[in-house]
Structure 1
Amino acid sequence: MEHLLNPHVLEIEISGIRKFSNMVADIEDIVSFTIGQPDFPTPEHVKQAGIRAIEENATTYTHNAGDLALRKAAAKFAETKYGLSYKPETEVIVTIGASEAIDIALRTILTPGSEVILPGPVYPGYEPVIRLCGAVPVYVDTRNSQFKLTADLIREALTNKTKCIILPYPSNPTGVTLEKRELQEIADLIRGKELFVLADEIYSELAYDMPHASIASFLREQAIVINGVSKSHAMTGWRIGFVFAPEQLAKHILKVHQYNVSCASSVSQKAALEALTAGIHDSEEMKKEYRKRREFVCKKLAEIGLHYVKPDGAFYVFVQLPKKYKGSSFDFAVEMAQKDKVAVVPGSTFSKYGEGWFRMSYACSLETLEKGLLRMEKFISNLN
């Protein structure tokens, strides 16, 4: 019966990150730097808000777009942190994580044959949704631009079929981000063109060296901003994300959301409300710790003799394979996991432009990082 299925579904594959992580999970004593999962617990006051929601029977449907109090808090958060202005009643949608937000936004704007420009390497979650819409992902090689999707690169990739440009910054897998000047150049290039920008800003609260800036500050009418509490508040399992978009666009995205999931979890919404109000600065302590880990990891990688891109945000570092290694990034990751019990994600997972690199997550303790990096050093020193 498989031949009767939607061909677009048959063509897509399970995420390479999950696939590889599952492959090495059963190796005894493995040190895993694979999944982008904060190792901090959800803040206690946020958990208590979720418990209270259950005890007070806040377990019914909410408005399709989400509880208005949460939408107001999300709008205020975006304004306070990033200077963005969205009407909570009509321009904010609460979703089941950033993943659903991306899905409903792309399904609203894409048509069969339309093209979506995205940087390579990039998080593998966008392409399957694009293909399910019958649209075409157009990867742009960013290896010679410090892994940044610049205005010049976009200009070269634009066609009369371009419907959307994806700006996923701070980036998974590279950790790089775009400066205000670079965002302004992109906005100037595409302003007035019949296309959208999807800005996946889920790591916005984990920007280390400069305040996060959003393309929506420069190009509000064409921008769809994706965010959420998964990374900022260590709430991955609560599944709360947000779509911020102009009213004339948001009302159509809401229709897709409504028929997809009705609404996000009411209990999780109460916890997210606490996170964005009383916990508006909760990410600061986590960010300090991530910054320490970044410095530790980068110093150790340099000592090992590996070339890497120093991340501006998120909690990943993108590392080039040792020059003496002649196999693929997948082979490298498999061999290192099997021989010295440390797991990283092959760069090829993030498009062909990630080949020759690997992604390492530092969302784990300094002790774990030290243990894994010592194993990595041993593996590399023993390469023929």
Structure 2
Amino acid sequence: MSKIASLIPASLRSAKPSLIRVLNNKYGSDPQMVNLTIGEPDFNTADHVKLAAIKSILDNHTHYPHNWGTPGLRDAISQYLATHFGVHYDPSSEVFVTEGASGAISTIINGLCQPGDIVLIPCPAYTLYRINAQMAGAKSVELRTQEPDFKVTPQLLKDALDKYGSRVKVLVLNYPVNPTGVTYTPDELRALATVLKQYNVAILDDEIYAELTYEGHHFSLAKLLPDQTLLVSGVSKNAAMTGWRIGYICGPNDVLRSLAKVHQAAISTTATMNMDAAEEALRHGDHDTAVMKAAYDQRRQYLIKAMKKICFHFTQPSGAFYLWVKIPDNFAGNSMAYAEHLAEKAKVAIVPAAAFTNLPVRYFRISYAASMEKLRQAITGFAKVFADDQASYND
């Protein structure tokens, strides 16, 4: 052990790396494995967006930008949100650009939470919320949502807010939801807003999958509670720009002024040419998103039919690009054991519920941000394993 290893805080030593990344690293390079772990678009960034980045470099946009983001990108974000979702933010004071949506999540939790504070997280949920709460010394409290849709209800939310009181600093609300693929209707959001407006709690409103809503139209909670909501999004999912690392936070200026200090201390600012590319994507990328969305929806419908035919049970997905599948009752192990079982027997890598909750939830996530060829291979593997397991159980 090195001399300075003892200086690592206990909270950091005990923090676990993202299980999604662990499994992707484990199986991603295996040519025999159908890898459905990572939630990354299998499309390339559009050429007109790439060209915008190239032009930015040739135009010598290679110096430090404003640490809130370039004025052009902040204006594009403001116009994009107003046009697509009817939420309005002043680009000069209520829009802040971050190092990906992950940077936005980290900035909010680390900026608002101190040791002993509580972050409420509906279960199951993307692991980064829980990890950041732990890093900040805060306590993440999982709201135990119920099958089949795993949505937080007004009563569940009220009970938690009453129980923990002023210790609650942040409520996480992500929709469409990673990993379940469900989303909230306008009436469901209004019911949650009725509860939330009675409490002094910040809402980390993660709408990164907003454009990938297949049934109905996405409705933003920010329309209902602008004074409490910190809207988080980016261009990773809707513009296939995961590697460009452009996200953003929109919200009240008096809060953003303080959160900007957190991001500036950690990152300073993101790359100018990447922001110029993101501006192009937001201003002129609707067609690109529509093409990807149509492909995802085709895959979604294929998986729904195919998994029903095999007799798997799952949560009905209406957004994002995930299917949340129930582990058959006759399998004795937990979700991690079932993930290993599928990898070994079906040659398909998925993500177990253990990546999204500490509770004993018996589900797994399939990412259909993958080609139809890969999905068909996966279904063949699932069908064989399901049939073999049923035969073994009946014996």
Is residue 121–residue 354 contact of structure 1 (8 Å, CA) maintained in 2?
Answer: no
Q: Does 1:135 align with 2:138?
A: yes
Matched, 1:296 2:299: no
The match for 1:62 is 65
Equivalent of 1:187 in 179, 193, 196: 193
CA deviations 1:247-275 (Å, max 9, x no partner) are 11111111111112111111100100100
Q: What SS class does the counterpart of residue 220 from structure 1 fall into?
A: coil
Alignment partners' CA distance in 1, 2:360 and 2:247? 27
- Checking the alignment, whether the CA contact within 8 Å between 2:37 and 2:351 is kept in structure 1 is yes
Name 1:86's counterpart in structure 2.
89
2:193 and 2:299 map into 1 onto residues whose CA distance is: 34
How many residues align? The count is 384
More displaced stretch, 308-317 vs 4-13: 4-13
CA distance in 1, matches of 2:98, 2:311: 43
User: Aligned equivalents of 2:209 and 2:301: distance in 1?
Assistant: 18
Contact 2:300 2:368 in 1 (8 A): yes
For residues 29 and 257 of structure 2, the distance between their equivalents in structure 1, rounded to whole angstroms, comes to 46
Query: Which amino acid counterpart does residue 135 of structure 2 have in structure 1?
Result: L
Query: Match of 1:234, as an amino acid?
Result: A
Partner of 2:79: 76
What is the distance in 2 between the residues matched to 1:322 and 1:145? 15
> CA separation of 1:28/1:145 partners in 2, compared to 1, >3 Å: closer, same or farther?
closer
Q: 1 CA distance for matches of 2:224 and 2:135? A: 30
The one-letter code sitting in structure 1 at the alignment partner of 2:190 is Q
Q: For residues 287 and 76 of structure 2, what CA distance do their matches in structure 1 show?
A: 13
Answering whether residue 358 of structure 2 is matched by residue 355 of structure 1, we say no
Within the candidate set 312, 320, 323, 2:318 is matched to: 312
Q: What is the CA–CA distance in structure 2 between the aligned matches of 1:166 and 1:73, rounded to whole Å?
A: 25
Letter in 2 for 1:172: N
Q: In terms of mean alpha carbon deviation, does 333-342 or 199-208 score higher?
A: 333-342
1:338 aligns with 2:341: no
Counterpart pick for 2:155 among 135, 152, 158 = 152
From 6, 11, 15, the counterpart of 1:12: 15
What displacement does 1:144 show? Answer: 3.6
Matches within 5 A, 1:34-45: 34-45=37-48
User: In the alignment, which residue of structure 2 is the partner of 1:254?
Assistant: 260
Matches within 5 A, 1:200-219: 200-219=206-225
RMSD over aligned CA atoms reads 1.3
Q: Residues 300 and 321 of structure 2 are in contact (CA less than 8 Å); yes or no, is this contact kept in structure 1?
A: yes
Q: Describe the SS at the equivalent of 2:17.
A: coil
What is the one-letter code of the residue matched to 1:258?
Q
Q: Deviations over 1:274-313 (max 9, x none)?
A: 0011224431111111111000001000000000011110
Q: Output the CA distance in 2 between the equivalents of 1:5 and 1:129.
A: 16
Picking from 218, 221, 239, the partner of 2:227 is: 221
Match status 1:117 vs 2:120:
yes
Q: For structure 1, which runs of at least 5 residues remain unmatched after alignment?
A: none
**What is the identity percentage for the equivalent residue pairs of Structure 1 and Structure 2?**
38
Contact 1:94/1:242, CA 8 A, preserved across alignment: yes
Gaps of 5+ in 2: none
CA distance in 2, matches of 1:281, 1:249: 34
Paired amino acid for 2:204: L
* Displacement after TM superposition at 1:131 (Å): 1.2
Partners of 1:143 and 1:353 within 8 A in 2: no
Please state how far the C-alpha of 1:192 moved relative to its aligned partner.
4.4
- Aligned to 1:210, the other structure's residue is in SS state coil
Q: Distance in 2 between matches of 1:214 and 1:354?
A: 31
Query: Structure 1 residues 124 and 354, CA, compared in 2 at 3 Å: closer, same or farther?
Result: farther
Q: In the alignment, which residue of structure 2 is the partner of 1:273?
A: 279
Distance (whole Å) between structure 2 residues aligned to residue 323 and residue 107 of structure 1: 40
- Secondary structure, in 3 states, of the residue corresponding to 2:178? coil
Asked if 1 retains the 8 angstrom alpha-carbon contact of 2:212 and 2:320, the reply is yes
